[in-house]
Structure 1
Amino acid sequence: MKRLIGLMAATFFSLSANAALVKINFDGEYYKLGDTPNAFHQSISGIKGYAIYESDTPGTVFGVTDTKNYRGALRGFGFEIYGDAGTVFSGEKTVADGARGFGYVQIRNLPGIDSFGLADIDLTPDEVVGGPDSLVRAGFTFRIAAKDAKAIDNSDLPGVFDPTIFNGQRNISLFLQRSPAVPGEIVSFNFNFWNLEDVTVEAVTQNVPEPGSLALLGMALAGVVATRRKPRLGAR
C-alpha cells in the first residue's frame, strides 16, 4: 500500500507543470510638471512596485507583424507611491492559480522602436489604499524602450531578460479615473526610471499541478480505497 502511494505521488509530481513566471521590480522617481494640485493633496516623490507575468501566455499580432500583444499575461501587480511623509497610495492585484490573468504585455521589435510594455493594469477602489475621493479606477502603464533597436530579437514574450539593454524611454504612468471629476487637480502621474538598476527582472518558481494530473491521482486513490474495503472470500 505504502509503495503504491509512493509511486502515485512520484507520478503526480512528474506530471506537474512549472509555470514560467517572471517578476519585474521597479523603483521610479516622480516627474513633476509645475505646482498644480494633485488628487492626493500631498507631495509625491516616487513609486516602488512589481509586476508578475506568465511567459507561456499566447500572443496575437497587433497592427504589424513584429508587434504582439499577450493579453491576460499578468498574474500579479503591486505598488506603493510615496512622498515626504511616507506612503501616499498603494495597492495590489493578483489572480488565483489557474485563473485567467489581467492586462497584457506588448512586445515591439521594429526598426528604432524596440520596446517592452505592460498595459491595461486597472485596480478598483477595493484593491487600493489611500485613493482620492470619487475614485473609479487606477490605471497603470509600464514601458521600457531601446534606442538602438537591438534589445529584442523577435516579438515572442521573453522569460527572464536583461532590462539594462533597454536604454531609451523607461517609465510607468498612473491615471486616476474619478467620478465626478475635480477640475484643476492632476490625475495623471509619470514616474521615470533614471538609472538602469531601477528595473530588475527575476524568475519566479511555482509548481502548478495540471488538471489531468489531479484527475489521475484522484482516480488512483479511489481505486486503492475500494480495493481495501472489498471483503476477502471466506472472511468472517
Structure 2
Amino acid sequence: MLRTLSLCGLLVATQAQAGLIQIDFSGTRSSASANVFGTDVSQLRGHALYETDTPATLFSTFNGTTNNFYGALRAFSFELLAADGATVFAGERQGGSFAYAQVRDASAGRDSFSLNGIYLDPDELSGDPAGLTQVQFTLLLNAISADVIDAPSLPQTLDPLDFSQRVVQLFVARTPGSQPSGVAVSLNYNLDTLSFTPYATVPEPASVMLYGLGLAALLRRKARAAAAGFSRRSRSCDAGSPAAHRGGSRARAA
C-alpha cells in the first residue's frame, strides 16, 4: 500500500515542462509623479512565460546578430501595488502565442534581451483607470558587456547580475478626453528581483481526481483480495478443526 501511495505521489508531483522558461520579476517605479491611477502604484510584480523553441527571424547583423522570436510568449501577468501593498491594477493573458522576444548577441557594445509588444485588453484587466482601451508592456534587459548572450536561440537561463539595466515599461492607452487629464500614461519600473527558471506544471484537478479514483479502485481490489484470502483460510481452518473431525467420525459411524 505504501508503494502504491508513493507511485501516486510521483504522478501528481510537479514536473518541468521542456522548452518553457518562466521569468519572475518585481520592481519599483522610477518616478512618484501623478498618474492615471490616482495613487503612486510604486511597486510592480509579475511573471512571463516564453517558449525557447520559437524559431528565430533575423532582424539585424549590425555589430553582431539580433534575432526576433515572434509569438514566443505563452503567458504574462502583473500587479501594480500602492505603497501600502494593496493591488491597484492587475491583468493576465494566457494561452496561444503572442508578443515577441528579441535577443542581441553583440560583437561590440552590449548584449540585450527583451520581451516586446505585450498587449492586454480591458477584458484581461482589473482596476482599470477611466477611459482605458489597452495597456502595453516591454521588459528590457541590457547586459554589462558583449559576452553575456551567446546563442542563436532563446536562452534557457540568464543571470540577472549580468544585466546593468533591468526595466519594465508600461504604456496605458486611453480614449481622448479621459479624466484625470494631463497626467503621465507611461510608467517605468526598475526591477529589484529577476529570475529565470524552467516552467513547472502540475496536473489539472481533473487529472488529480482520476489518479485518486484509480488509487481508490486499486485499494478496493487489494481489500477484496485480502478478504477473500482470509475467508479461504478460515474455511481451511474450520475443516481441520477437532469439531470438524468429530462430526466426520460420527457421520462414518452412523
TM-score by structure 1 length?
0.72
The equivalent of 1:102 in structure 2 is 98
8 Å CA contact 1:43–1:83 kept in 2: the answer is yes
Structure number with higher relative contact order (C-alpha < 8 Å, ≥ 6 residues apart): 1
Give the match's secondary structure for 1:76.
Answer: strand
List per-residue Cα deviations over 1:17-42 (Å, max 9, x = no partner).
Answer: x5410000001100106x3x311111
The equivalent of 1:202 in structure 2 is 197
Is 1:174 equivalent to 2:173 in the alignment? Answer: no
8 Å CA contact 2:18–2:198 kept in 1: the answer is no
Shift of 1:206: 5.1
Q: Using the alignment, how far apart are the partners of 1:206 and 1:43 within structure 2? A: 35
Q: Using the alignment, how far apart are the partners of 1:55 and 1:174 within structure 2? A: 24
The equivalent of 2:82 in structure 1 is 83
Shift of 1:181: 4.8
The equivalent of 1:130 in structure 2 is 127
8 Å CA contact 1:112–1:146 kept in 2: the answer is no
Shift of 1:186: 1.0
The equivalent of 2:154 in structure 1 is 157
The equivalent of 1:191 in structure 2 is 189
Shift of 1:133: 1.1
8 Å CA contact 1:107–1:117 kept in 2: the answer is yes
8 Å CA contact 1:72–1:102 kept in 2: the answer is yes
Q: Using the alignment, how far apart are the partners of 1:38 and 1:135 within structure 2? A: 13
8 Å CA contact 2:121–2:133 kept in 1: the answer is yes
Counterpart amino acid of residue 114 in structure 2: G
Q: Using the alignment, how far apart are the partners of 2:87 and 2:58 within structure 1? A: 39
8 Å CA contact 1:172–1:191 kept in 2: the answer is yes
> How big is the alpha-carbon RMSD for the aligned residues of Structure 1 and Structure 2?
1.9
The equivalent of 1:69 in structure 2 is 68
Shift of 1:162: 2.2
Q: Using the alignment, how far apart are the partners of 2:177 and 2:156 within structure 1? A: 40
Shift of 1:163: 2.4
8 Å CA contact 1:22–1:52 kept in 2: the answer is yes
List per-residue Cα deviations over 1:192-212 (Å, max 9, x = no partner).
Answer: 02x4xx1011101459xxxxx
Moved over 6 A (4+): none
Counterpart amino acid of residue 21 in structure 2: V
TM-score by structure 2 length?
0.67
The equivalent of 1:213 in structure 2 is none
Q: Using the alignment, how far apart are the partners of 1:54 and 1:157 within structure 2? A: 8
8 Å CA contact 1:57–1:73 kept in 2: the answer is yes
Q: How does 1:205-224 map to 2 (within 5 A)?
A: 205=200
Give the length in aligned residue pairs: 181
Shift of 1:190: 0.1
Q: Using the alignment, how far apart are the partners of 2:195 and 2:18 within structure 1? A: 20
8 Å CA contact 1:21–1:206 kept in 2: the answer is no
Give the match's secondary structure for 1:109.
Answer: strand
8 Å CA contact 2:139–2:168 kept in 1: the answer is yes
Unpaired runs of at least 5, structure 2? 1-16, 203-254
Counterpart amino acid of residue 195 in structure 2: T
Shift of 1:164: 2.1
Unpaired runs of at least 5, structure 1? 1-17, 208-236
Structure richer in helix, relative to its length: 2
